[in-house]
Homo-oligomer: A and B are copies of this chain.
Amino acid sequence: MSDLVTRLRRHNWRITPQRRVIAETLEGSHVHFTAEQVLERACERMPELSRATVYNTLNEMVALGEVIELSLEGRSKRYDPNADHDHHHLICEGCGLMKDVHAVADPVEWLPGDERHGFTITRASITYRGLCPDCQAAA
CA distance A38 to B115 in the complex (A): 27
Chain B nearest CB, measured from A7 CB (Å): 22
B107 touches A119 (CB 8 A): no
Q: Are B128 and A124 in contact (CB under 8 A)?
A: yes
**Any B CB within 8 A of the CB of A11:** no
Say yes or no: B116 contacts A105, CB within 8 Å: no
A136 to B118, CA, bound (A): 10
Task: Indicate whether A104 sits within 8 Å of B110 (C-beta atoms), given known contacts A120-B131, A127-B125, A136-B120.
Answer: yes
- Name the contact of A99 in the complex, choosing from B90, B105, B117, B123 (C-beta under 8 A): B117
A130 proximity list for chain B (CB < 8 A): 119-123
Kindly report which residue of chain B lies nearest to residue A99, judged by CB atoms: B117
Contact residue among B74, B111, B126, B132 (Cβ-Cβ distance under 8 Å from A117): B132
Q: Does A3 contact B (CB under 8 A)?
A: no
- A116 x B129 contact (CB < 8 A): no
A108: Cβ under 8 A from any B Cβ:
yes
CB-based closest 3 A-B pairs: A121-B130, A118-B133, A103-B110
